Amino acid sequence: MPLDQLLSWGAMAIPTHTTTIRALRQLGPVPWFHDGCSGLALRARADVPRFDDTMIRSALLRGVEACERLAALDRAINRELWPLGYVAFLERSVGDDAVVLVEIAAGR
């Protein structure tokens, strides 16, 4: 059955790679030149309100100042984001950058 028919009947569509990419918003790069990285790409899920972007970016900047290793960066960033109701996941990209994905913390 075609996807548009499923959606018109109100059925849930199975998320695909393209819908996941569209569900992300770029919040801009953050300079971080440690542990082989040339920076961090900050992205937020679509359900993260835009009015929190500045607060999230500020928390990320405080987190990156506290650490010089990618392995510990996840913990440092989440320590700053958790009181705001967000969590971050770090992924190493193909290039020399790491991607920080921010989403709303479950159960908050």
> Is 93 domain-assigned?
yes
Report pLDDT for 69: 86
Give pLDDT, residue 74. Answer: 87
Average model confidence (pLDDT) for the chain? 77
* Residue 34 domain-assigned (yes or no): yes
pLDDT score for 78: 92
Provide the domain limits for residue 61.
Answer: 24-104
Residue 40 lies in a domain: yes
In a domain, 35, yes or no: yes
- 57 to 25, 63, 83, 93, 107: CA distances (angstroms): 13, 10, 14, 20, 22
**3-class DSSP state of 93:** coil
Residue pLDDT tens, the chain, 108 long? 444 443 444 444 333 334 344 568 888 888 888 888 888 889 999 999 999 999 999 999 998 888 888 888 889 999 999 999 999 998 876 666 788 888 888 765
The pLDDT score that the predictor gives to residue 37 is 83
Q: Is residue 30 in a domain?
A: yes
- Structurally, the chain folds into a number of domains equal to 1
Instruction: Compute the CA torsion angle 76, 47, 17, 96 (nearest 10 deg).
Output: -30
The predicted model scores a pTM of 0.69
CATH number of 66's domain: 3.10.20
Per-residue confidence (pLDDT) for residue 106, from 0 to 100: 77
